[in-house]
Structure 1
Amino acid sequence: MKPQRLPLKQRHGGVIRRLRADGAGEDLIDFSASMNPYPPSIDWKPELCDILDYPDDTYIELKEAIGSAFSRDPSEIAVGNGSIELIRIYAQVFLSPGSGALIESPTFGEYAQSVLLAGGKLVKEPEDATVRYLCNPNNPTGKLLQREDVRSILHDCKEAGSRLFLDEAFIDLADPDESMSDHRDSDLFILRSLTKAFSVPGIRFGFGFSDPETIEAIETARPPWTVNRYAETYAIEALRHLPDLERSRRLIAEERAFLSGSIRSLGLFCHPSSVNYLLVDTGRDAGELQHALLKAGVLVRDCTSFGLPQSIRIAVRRHEENTVLIEALSACMH
């Protein structure tokens, strides 16, 4: 018996290890994965991590640490092996075969992937949706909606009888004052991540907020022990450093202004962004440009998988690296 027909696997950035293994060189600068270039220093010693026992699958210590940082009760918190796991599980729990999901493009492809894997379908009208997905700030555009705008979207969802899945994975690097993390509503699920803000993509950890009934359903569907002890102990320590991200946001804003101005001076359209990446319309095949930049020692994100075949996404990195990018981009465009 053959496996059932599944949607094509999503393409992502963050392929630097594979490229280096294939001979791209250790000096290759990765602009394809949007990490904090100025992460706080975390006093975490993995060699002291106790891995001889299973993690506590209730993750009560971890949830209490999250709850303390965000003023939420542990019963309102779900955890997972990266935010991707929670995206997948949420779809499994709230979408039945044939139910609709509203996803505005361009945005993160894993929402649609999770909907289709759960047997759902993509719809264009709010009244046809069981779940509406919203990424704020949006990936790949970098657009940040204000809190009141999100509240208005949630109101529309409730009027239509649907739920809102709100992904705030990048909001700590944009403006946390616009977060909905303190908003309690049974029709709202808020997804958060430490990966981007603390620049630790190798530690797979995500978490989310909703009402206790929603959280219980997600935790029931989540496979046991998916958050390992390394991720758990790192997260508990990192949460104490959330205030340190103010410095990161300030420095990112400075470099973002430098990058966007430099890109526009090359005659390219750079979308306004509130976060640590820029969407650039290049006017040429993004895959070809990505390949040319790779030869110059720079890896950018080809946005063809977002439905933008002439656009690239560029992470904001430190100034000396950003200068290398601009020089390489200038050479490739002329």
Structure 2
Amino acid sequence: MAGHFPEKAVHGGKVQELRRIFGHDFLDVSASMNPFVPQVGADFSCADLSMYPDDSYAELKESIARVFSRTTDEICLGNGSAELIRVYCHTVLSRGDTAQIDPPTFAEYGLSAELAGAAVLPGAMLGDRVPTVRFICNPNNPTGTLLPRKIMFAELDQCCAAGTQLFVDEAFMDLSCPEDSITDVRSENLFVMRSLTKSFAVPGIRFGFGFGPPDLIEKIETARTPWTINAFAEYYAKLAFVHYHELRDAAKRIAAEREWYYARLDELGLSYERSSVNYILIHLNRNAAAFTRAMIDKGILVRDCTSFGLPECIRVSVETRERNVRVLEAISACLH
């Protein structure tokens, strides 16, 4: 194939092969799942596999609309947030457009924008160019930084004035500070994405959803693959939204455990980014790839942040106390 073709994005959660080697006790703290998941109680035998799903997903969208006080024509669905990012970029971006993406952040934005033909630049390198789309991950991955709601309003105002579309990824918002969400904001320049993956710890389900103006939502729903939400995912998602309010308790428990984690990192003499969510970016001041391999030998997978442009940092998820103790003991051993 002639010309440049972007490389596939690097992600965490690569634990299945390691468990085949080391056994099921191998601990994955690279993928940042909610350790305090609401009990949904899904009986998947109730999912009807004998028919195609309703490709409009009317009932599922009504469930989301009730939780977020939006109308169903403002809601789109995807096979995980990755599909929504990809479809959004192919819908909004064209060759010659520019996407503003400030690192370090989730790699799928840049890859999807490049696949759509756009140039990807951080804000500092835009010069006089006005980006077609500005991507913001809030809270950010991998730093855990949360931009308050008033700052997000200012970002949106700037985008509207410049004629730029604002894409906001709130995949971790439910485990952070939901009061700072802008899912309730309606603007022709705004698209906000959410996911069940992290908040309900169900990466195998593959379910993402987003909010935007009806004309954009119609285009995204047209562009996505038909029947992209399978019957199991649709069944689980409907139940999950009944329990959605319980995520507030999980966020409080994570915040308390995160403070305990900081104190242990201080004892180890490690610096870190103060996070708003269920993961912590740790500065090692040494090669992260080598440190990650040493942690694998201890039976634990951490997220090597080299792919984020942070070759001396790792990211670890905040887990239950027992698991956190195990991770910190392994970190201490690998430091010495």
Shorter chain as denominator, the TM-score bin is over 0.9
Q: CA offset at residue 191 of structure 1?
A: 0.2
Give 2:34's aligned amino acid. N
Counterpart of 1:163 in structure 2 is 165
Q: CA offset at residue 121 of structure 1?
A: 0.4
Match of 2:237 among 212, 235, 238: 235
Counterpart of 1:125 in structure 2 is 126
1:254-293 pair list within 5 angstroms: 254-293=256-295
Give me the TM-score of the superposition, normalised by structure 1. Answer: 0.97
Counterpart of 1:16 in structure 2 is 15
SS in structure 2 opposite 1:138?
Answer: coil
Counterpart of 1:69 in structure 2 is 67
Match of 1:52 among 47, 50, 53: 50
Partners of 1:301 and 1:312 within 8 A in 2: yes
Give me the TM-score of the superposition, normalised by structure 2. Answer: 0.97
Taking the aligned partners of 1:309 and 1:3, their CA distance within structure 2 comes to 31
Taking the aligned partners of 1:74 and 1:315, their CA distance within structure 2 comes to 34
Q: Which runs of 5+ in 2 are unaligned?
A: none
Q: CA offset at residue 56 of structure 1?
A: 0.4
Q: CA offset at residue 43 of structure 1?
A: 2.1
Give 1:242's aligned amino acid. Y
Taking the aligned partners of 1:27 and 1:147, their CA distance within structure 2 comes to 40
- Greater shift in the superposed pair: 146-155 or 121-130: 121-130
Counterpart of 1:88 in structure 2 is 86
Q: CA offset at residue 128 of structure 1?
A: 2.5
Taking the aligned partners of 2:22 and 2:2, their CA distance within structure 1 comes to 35
- Greater shift in the superposed pair: 260-269 or 233-242: 260-269
After superposition, what is the alpha-carbon deviation per residue over 1:241-274, rounded to whole angstroms, capped at 9, x for unaligned? 1111122112111111111221122111110101
Q: Which runs of 5+ in 1 are unaligned?
A: none
Taking the aligned partners of 2:317 and 2:153, their CA distance within structure 1 comes to 29
Taking the aligned partners of 2:102 and 2:4, their CA distance within structure 1 comes to 25
Counterpart of 2:318 in structure 1 is 316
**Cα RMSD (Å):** 1.1
Counterpart of 2:37 in structure 1 is 39
Match of 2:113 among 112, 115, 123: 115
Taking the aligned partners of 1:186 and 1:315, their CA distance within structure 2 comes to 35
Q: CA offset at residue 125 of structure 1?
A: 2.4
Counterpart of 2:248 in structure 1 is 246
SS in structure 2 opposite 1:37?
Answer: coil
After superposition, what is the alpha-carbon deviation per residue over 1:255-301, rounded to whole angstroms, capped at 9, x for unaligned? 11111221122111110101000000100000000000111111100
Give 1:182's aligned amino acid. D
Taking the aligned partners of 1:160 and 1:5, their CA distance within structure 2 comes to 30
Counterpart of 1:333 in structure 2 is 335
Taking the aligned partners of 1:222 and 1:3, their CA distance within structure 2 comes to 27
SS in structure 2 opposite 1:208?
Answer: strand
Taking the aligned partners of 1:84 and 1:318, their CA distance within structure 2 comes to 27
After superposition, what is the alpha-carbon deviation per residue over 1:30-78, rounded to whole angstroms, capped at 9, x for unaligned? 1101000010000211011101100000111111110011011000000
Structure 1 residue runs of 4 or more that deviate by more than 3 Å after TM superposition: 2-5
Taking the aligned partners of 2:119 and 2:267, their CA distance within structure 1 comes to 42
After superposition, what is the alpha-carbon deviation per residue over 1:112-167, rounded to whole angstroms, capped at 9, x for unaligned? 00011111001332842000000000000001111110010011111111000000
After superposition, what is the alpha-carbon deviation per residue over 1:222-254, rounded to whole angstroms, capped at 9, x for unaligned? 110000011111111101111111221121111
Counterpart of 2:201 in structure 1 is 199
Give 2:18's aligned amino acid. L
SS in structure 2 opposite 1:192?
Answer: strand
SS in structure 1 opposite 2:199?
Answer: helix
Give 2:9's aligned amino acid. Q
SS in structure 2 opposite 1:207?
Answer: strand
Counterpart of 1:101 in structure 2 is 99
Q: CA offset at residue 192 of structure 1?
A: 0.4
Taking the aligned partners of 2:115 and 2:302, their CA distance within structure 1 comes to 28
Counterpart of 1:294 in structure 2 is 296
Give 2:114's aligned amino acid. L
Counterpart of 2:192 in structure 1 is 190
Q: CA offset at residue 3 of structure 1?
A: 7.2
- Greater shift in the superposed pair: 69-78 or 243-252: 243-252
Counterpart of 1:79 in structure 2 is 77
- Counterpart check, 1:215 vs 2:217: yes
Identity of aligned residues (%): 49
Partners of 1:264 and 1:270 within 8 A in 2: no
SS in structure 2 opposite 1:132?
Answer: strand
After superposition, what is the alpha-carbon deviation per residue over 1:173-209, rounded to whole angstroms, capped at 9, x for unaligned? 0011110010000100000011111111110000000
Taking the aligned partners of 2:212 and 2:57, their CA distance within structure 1 comes to 16
Taking the aligned partners of 2:274 and 2:83, their CA distance within structure 1 comes to 30
Partners of 1:289 and 1:332 within 8 A in 2: yes
